[in-house]
Amino acid sequence: MPRWLVAVNRSAGRITTDPSLIAEVVGAVGLDAEIVAPDSPSAMAAVLVAGAHRGFEHFALAGGDGTVNLAVNALLPLGLGYSPVIGVLPVGTGCDLLRTFGLPQDLPRAAQHLITDNVYSIDAVALEGDWGLRYFVNVAQAGVGAAAAQTAVRIARWLGPARYPMAFGARLPRFPRTRITLTTEKKIVESEALAVIFANAQFFAGGWNVAPKATLVDGVLDIQIFDVKKRQAAALVPKVVKGTHLREPGVRRLSVSEFTLVTESLWPVEADGDLIGNTTVKGQVIPAAVRLKI
């Protein structure tokens, strides 16, 4: 059985995560593990990097989508020569990555998956902009949805999944619908738009099925351009939640491996729930970058 580095994100979730709870859960399944609980995101990234240099190839993350994003951005730039194995012990405000695979969202059952032999090689995506280089594995977006993600982190954590729709409703009225140019390896798309989604996986925002046709193993992104009026956006949201929006007027879908998005008005960009900067943004899929424990 491989030895795991178990990293606990104390700030994930609605309440502070107790490292002793994680130790109890992984101990119950007999996982060979070293458990660390850094006191900040930067400290967690440093611990993961140090762990990789010490020879760890298996990393269990007690957190949510943001914690997975942190780990990917700590490990992929190292040029390890192998794809790190990542397992998730869900304690965050949301773990949409697990929903794509139908994996358990409770700690004891999730821990059971760490002792199986099952891994799934999944793609990651590299994003470049004024911020430099960032990676994501789940969903990124530019436009009003990214603005909502920016606002959601300011809303009380105890509200959980309700934070994102509340933030979306707050940002929509004044958000600038603008002209965009999306350049891919297949075509150039020019359009008016309110948002552009870059989906590697299916779910975001606490269970919204934004990309029901996306898969993490095909080497392409599911990109959606929302060319809708603001008065239409509110009615479209329930369909996005259910994943029934793809045939709606004003929603255009592409499957591409690389892109450049330029917007006439400046738009925010977020990746896996974290605001990373503003447009212009370039993206490229990195096939089989990570092995996800399933």
The residue among 76, 98, 117 that closes a domain is: 117
The residue among 98, 117, 136 that closes a domain is: 117
Distance CA 227, CA 252 (A): 8
Give yes or no: residues 77 and 191 share one domain: no
Tokens of 169: 């409703």
Residue 196 lies in a domain: yes
Q: What is the pLDDT of residues 232-265, one digit of tens each?
A: 998 999 999 999 999 999 999 999 999 999 999 9
Whether the CB-CB separation of 219 and 285 falls below 8 Å is answered with yes
Q: Quick one: pLDDT at residue 47?
A: 97
- Beta bridge pairs of residue 196: 142, 225
Give yes or no: residues 66 and 200 share one domain: no
| Residue 15: pLDDT over 70 | no
Q: What is the pLDDT of residues 216-229, one digit of tens each?
A: 999 999 999 999 99
CA 204 to chain centroid, in Å, comes to 7
Residue 291 lies in a domain: no
Residue 93 lies in a domain: yes
Tokens of 166: 């509340």
Give yes or no: residues 8 and 50 share one domain: yes
Structurally, how many domains does the chain consist of? 2
pTM: 0.94
Distance CA 134, CA 2 (A): 29
| Residue 92: pLDDT over 70 | no
Of 31-35, 106-110, 214-218, give the lowest mean pLDDT range: 106-110
Distance CA 128, CA 116 (A): 36
Q: What is the pLDDT of residues 273-294, one digit of tens each?
A: 899 999 999 999 999 999 999 8
Give yes or no: residues 276 and 172 share one domain: yes
Give yes or no: residues 137 and 271 share one domain: yes
Give yes or no: residues 69 and 132 share one domain: no
Q: Which domain holds residue 41?
A: 4-117
Give yes or no: residues 260 and 142 share one domain: yes
Residue 151 sits in a domain whose CATH number is 2.60.200.40
